[in-house]
Amino acid sequence: MDGSSAPGPVAGDFLTLLKQRRIISDIPHGLTNHSGLTETVATTILGFKFADGVLVAGDRRATAGNVVMYDRADKVLEIDRHSVMAIAGSPATAWEMARILEHSFQFYRRSQLQEMSVEGKVRSLSKLLRDNLGMVMQGLGVVVPLFAIYDKKNPDPAKLFFYDAMGAQFEATDFASSGSGAAAVRSVLYYEQNWGVSPLRERSREDAILLALKALDTAAEADTATGGIDRHGKIFPIIKTVSAAGIATVSDDKLSELFQAHVA
């Protein structure tokens, strides 16, 4: 085929591109994101390094289009004793990835009598995201997670990674966020890192928790898909810290105390 007969620029999903390039004759029914299916998605998540390790947080809202499907979704999932995965995107796909990671890490630990390396854990999640690429191309099942690890053997033990939907991995220097409210969260964390009372890595656990509450509350003001803090229903974000002592979940009572004293 010469250049004069080549199709022009294509706007649309991957299957539409294949059809326009005559690689397939038609798009099978149900394999297009134009089928009218409204997917449930979960946002917003954040992570940053503080004095003791890594803090990971997520709001509780899950939406399908303009409908709030659930206001108590858990987007911060414990994978093993020192690994946490936070999910933005399709909860159904993300929760299945988390279960696979949990079993994979456990099998490796029991069969090899040692922990999987940080590189192995990070790449395991990358592979799951790459394996999900077919669904992503159909416009469904997109997951853009954060992954936090505390590696006692490393001179810099606190590790935080963020990913794109195709599985590319990036290590965050200080903080990362994902989901529909990510831009607002990044703005808050960037400001606090550069012009706050102290850099994020120097902050105590309580100061780090308070900052996460402020960031998610800011995101909720700018993004309707972010639940933030429900002042009446007493629904608070899920906040976990990963440190040398392991994973700790911040209680709702503690979040309520900090929120009422410093945010509300």
Tell me, yes or no, if 16 is annotated catalytic.
no
Residue 27, Cβ neighbours under 10 Å: how many?
16
Burial zone of 199 (CB within 10 Å; 0-12 exposed, 13-18 middle, 19+ buried) = middle
Please give the model's pTM, rounded to 2 decimal places.
0.85
- Tens of pLDDT, residues 207-230: 999 999 999 999 999 999 999 888
Going by C-alpha positions, the residue among 241, 236, 262 that lies closest to residue 71 is 236
pLDDT tens sequence for the chain (264 residues): 444 444 444 445 565 666 676 655 555 544 555 455 678 887 899 999 999 999 999 999 999 888 899 999 999 999 999 999 999 999 999 999 999 999 999 999 999 999 999 999 999 999 999 999 988 888 888 999 999 999 999 999 999 999 999 999 999 999 999 999 999 999 999 999 999 999 999 999 999 999 999 999 999 999 999 998 887 768 999 999 999 999 999 999 999 999 988 887
The CATH number of domain 40-263 is 3.40.190.80: no
All structural domains of the chain with their residue ranges:
40-263
Q: Which of 32, 43, 44, 93 is catalytic?
A: 43
The strand pairing partners of 249, in sequence order, are 240
* SS3 label, residue 53: strand
Tokens representing residue 101 in the block: 């990671």
Alpha helices in the chain (DSSP H): 14-20, 91-112, 118-131, 133-137, 182-195, 205-222, 252-258
SS (H, E, C) 130-145: HHCHHHHHCCCCCECC
